[in-house]
Amino acid sequence: MQRACGRSPGLTATGQALDAGGKPSYDDCRVLALIGRRPAQTLRFRTLPLGLIIVLLFAWVGLAWPGQVSVVDDTGNTVTLPGPAQRVISLAPDLTEILFHLGGGHLLVGAVEHSDFPEAAQQVPRIGSHNRFNFETILRMQPDLVLAWASGNPAELVKRLEQLGLTVYRAEPATLDQLATTLARVGTLIGRAQASAALASAFRSKAVAIQQHYQQRPVLSVFYQVWHQPLITLNGKHLVSRLLVHCGASNVFSDLPDIAPVVSRESVIARNPQIIIAGGTTAGAPAWLDDWQTWDKIDAVAAGHLFSVNADLLHRHSPRVLEGMRELCEIIDRARSGN
């Protein structure tokens, strides 16, 4: 039975591909218009030399398929799309921010909870949390690209999305330079390669300017507190620790193997930081920062160097991290001056 011409709808609600490649097929109506509109012309076409026929066929395929886009993600996997992504799902708030920063917010058909910046991101339909996705909802949205957080999303769940036929880009920028690279790569996947390259270059320039402003100043030791019960910090592999170095400071727990280790108050006392910084909110310092007031054996407490920063600016690996970096550097400079 002859099928009506048109584009394949791609994936069914169960994730099964409707064509051999698991991707929407080319526009067969367009091809029919090229080779089947005038029978007389088709007959003349058959008399053309074989070499010319092959050239024309490749030209028609080029018209039917948009140019491929391909990048390597942060895990070393090559991610290839038949054309710029038109329907994107984000599995992390920072990836949602990145897409909006690149001018691709309108491409988002789904995002995880806490994707709240910019304000328009709050209107994007939710597909679950960063560690628990609704597969049925995701498949129903028929995304042609899923942006995943390599260390934050459960690996087995992300792998399942790929097994269902979805294309996944895994992001894990651990440095400012890698974050700039992520901007350029994601921009390429949504068809904004030139604009995203410019944004990545501007990001690098701003980051270098901040580093140069603080790099020659005396180094102070910092305990960065993520949470209070249990007491959680970050090790030297986390971006926050690298930002401390850029600000002319050192992380007292940079040597621990886990990226977000649980530590004891006794170990904080033993390492005796000169500054204690807690990840807070835009509303102000968390109440648990005051819990340190009784531990006056710590230099930071004795000097009154207890500070908070907006955690969203530092913990989310998005372009806004430079705002967090400035705030962090200013806090450390205040401690240097004794304020």
Residues whose CB falls within 8 Å of the CB of residue 321, separated by 6 or more in sequence, listed in order: 176, 179, 239, 243, 313, 314
Question: How many CB atoms sit inside 10 A of residue 238's CB?
Answer: 21
Residue 49: pLDDT above 50? yes
At 90-134, the pLDDT tens digits run 999 999 999 999 999 999 999 999 999 999 999 999 999 999 999
At 251-264, the pLDDT tens digits run 999 999 999 999 99
At 261-312, the pLDDT tens digits run 999 999 999 999 999 999 876 545 677 788 899 999 999 999 999 999 999 9
Residue 172: pLDDT above 70? yes
